[in-house]
Amino acid sequence: MPAGMVALRPSDFTPISTVNKPSSIFSTFGNTLSKLDDKLSKSEIYNSLKEAYTAPMRAYRGEIDPTNFPEQAALEALNMAGTVGVSGMTVPRPAGSLGMFGGLKSKTANKVSQAKAAEMLQDGVPPAEVWLKTGWGIGTDGKWRYEIPDDLATFISANLPQGKDRLEIANDYLHSNGVRPTLDISSPSVPQALRQEALQYADMVVEKGAPPAPLSTVLQHGKVFRAYPEEGSIALSREISGKIGLGGSYDPVERTMTVGGLVINSNPEKQLTSTTLHELQHAIQRKEGFARGGSTESFAGAKDMVEALSTEKANLPGAAEYWRRIESGMSKADARKGLSSAEMVEALGYKNSSQLTLRMKHIDDELSKWADAAIDPYGAYKRLAGEAEARLVQSRMSMTPEQRAALYPWEPDYFKAATGVDINNLIYIYDDALARAVR
């Protein structure tokens, strides 16, 4: 995969197909809504809504007993939470759905509301209440965000460049070169050399792909493209790599995007829309300077990095001892006694023990960032703040503006249910530099 491209894998989606189907169809979500009266505090309303929104995902993860959560309630909550990857469920999109997270660089950002939000936070107003009242919040990377919903947003799958598969192209080549239409690439009577030639031609065409289309002709999302006009010209094509688990990608250098490589349910248009939103959020991240996404290849050197840092760390105590001896008044000859050549090489790279102490702390910090990635690169990819945000966009895909306002995106329990990762254990990438979230 080229550098800078973003992989979307099957486990980015939260299926509900394994949740049991109890006989009861009474909607506890309806009961939840009936409780929303003036007698309840805002926190009670918020928590009630959160329970309804996140119940399907919590049931899937085994955190609640699905037999005690009626099927109809699960589906209602799922519709509103916009969970992607639901087998066979088609839901009318509410007005204002298909929202994205924008920032201060967007052309339609309401900076008066953002200033009010900043003032409220400074006055100690809880972030969720600030979000509810102003529509602005601070993401995990410390940057301001708001959601850009669009009640007219539509994904037109017919406008997505289709292209033919390898065998179709090979058969067309044969027929254009005199082979009877009743024969195809598998027919024994087609000469082996011609078959090979047709397949080589097909491989070349597949590699090139169908001509891309401007993103704005496939995803008609007026408010997003008014906020970020340049993103509407991103060249969109169908993912044809055939790589297992690669559903879509975004290349910020070439300004290209692919979708459609992985359709995991019977509602392919919904899946295509979801993947496109995921990749478009990555484009906005680059534009705004938000923490960005990546791929497992972002951590390709993690194992080598850990080994190099660990080797250096092993020699630093001896190097520190050398400088401790020097600073206590020992001669250089005496200070060297008992130390290995590797320890002395490290020691002579510094001017004093203070420099060594700082280096040891830096190594510990770096090891904490890279150690998990060396063991589980895909798990680290999932924890990239930009990837988690893109999945958060997908999970909120079918919410109305009112639901978006009521459900604070960065509430830890909700964030984990929506993205599959802990908000306190995110990894950030800025210009290929890693940093773990500190909250």
Per-residue pLDDT tens over the stretch 43-66: 554 454 455 445 444 443 444 443
Q: pLDDT by residue (tens digit) across 213-251?
A: 999 999 888 889 999 999 999 999 887 655 555 678 888
Whole-prediction pTM: 0.61
Per the listing, tokens 């909607």 go with: 27
For residue 190, give both structure tokens.
């087609």
Query: What pLDDT score was predicted for residue 351?
Result: 85
Instruction: Identify the CA nearest to 413 among candidates 398, 403, 423.
Output: 423
Buried b (16+ CB within 10 A) or exposed e, 365-386: ebeebbbbbbeebeebbbbbbb
DSSP code, position 384: B
Instruction: Identify the CA nearest to 82 among candidates 387, 292, 391, 385.
Output: 391
Query: What pLDDT score was predicted for residue 70?
Result: 42
Query: What pLDDT score was predicted for residue 264?
Result: 52
Measured distance CA(407)–CA(395) in Å, rounded: 12
Instruction: Identify the CA nearest to 254 among candidates 230, 278, 231, 234.
Output: 234
For residue 263, give both structure tokens.
């359709």
- The SS3 assignment for 8 reads coil
Measured distance CA(267)–CA(85) in Å, rounded: 9
CB proximity list for 17: less than 8 A, separation 6 or greater: 86, 87
For residue 401, give both structure tokens.
């503006």
Amino acid at 99: G
Measured distance CA(343)–CA(387) in Å, rounded: 41
Q: Give the C-alpha distances (Å, rounded to integers) separating 255 from 7, 251, 252, 261.
A: 15, 5, 5, 18
Per the listing, tokens 């107003």 go with: 125
- The SS3 assignment for 99 reads coil
Measured distance CA(406)–CA(70) in Å, rounded: 24
Task: Report how far apart the first and last C-alpha atoms of the chain are (Å, whole number).
Answer: 33
How far, in whole angstroms, is CA 84 from its chain's centroid?
13
Read out DSSP for 395-437?
A: HTTT--HHHHHHS-TT-HHHHHHHHSS-GGG-EEEETTEEEE-
The enclosing H or E element of 146 equals: strand 144-148
DSSP code, position 33: H
136 CB-side CA count, 13 A = 20
Query: What pLDDT score was predicted for residue 99?
Result: 77
Q: Which residues of the chain have pLDDT under 50?
A: 1-42, 45-46, 48-49, 52-53, 55-96, 432-439
Query: What pLDDT score was predicted for residue 106?
Result: 96
CB proximity list for 141: less than 8 A, separation 6 or greater: 290, 291, 385, 428
109, 146 contact by CB (below 8 A): yes
204, 163 contact by CB (below 8 A): no
